[in-house]
Amino acid sequence: MKRPVDLARRFLALADRDIKTLHLLTAAPDSDDQAVGFHAQQAIEKCLKAVLSVHEIAFRRTHDLAELLDLLRDRACTLPANAESLDSLNPFAVTM
């Protein structure tokens, strides 16, 4: 089994990929809002999961940013300054 810090690093590497894609999309004038929102949501989700992993806080397989933030809040972890607005990106998550 992977160490928590290794899993966190993996999540951050994946988030970095989404952030790079997000920068490319936002630089293009004709970018689709759905695509921009998707990569923003994915980057934040993976960063939150990295923090959860390093703190060894179990989480279920979810794309719900509010749920992930609640897990951090329940453990008294420091939240991002804009945490209360992050779940506004939930509609851009993949739901199947």
Contact 57, 11 (CB under 8 A): no
Ordered per-residue pLDDT tens for the chain, 96 residues: 579 999 999 999 999 999 999 999 999 999 999 999 999 999 999 999 999 999 999 999 999 999 999 999 999 999 988 999 998 999 998 764
Q: What angle do CA 31, 89, 82 make, to 5 degrees?
A: 115
d(CA 35, CA 21) in angstroms, rounded, equals 10
pLDDT value of residue 21: 97
Q: Which two tokens stand for residue 23?
A: 């920068």
pLDDT value of residue 1: 58
The answer to whether the Cα torsion of 6, 88, 95, 92 is positive or negative is negative
Residue 51 CA, distance from chain mean position: 10
Strands (E), the chain: none
pLDDT value of residue 96: 47
- Give helix then strand counts, H and E, for the chain: 4, 0
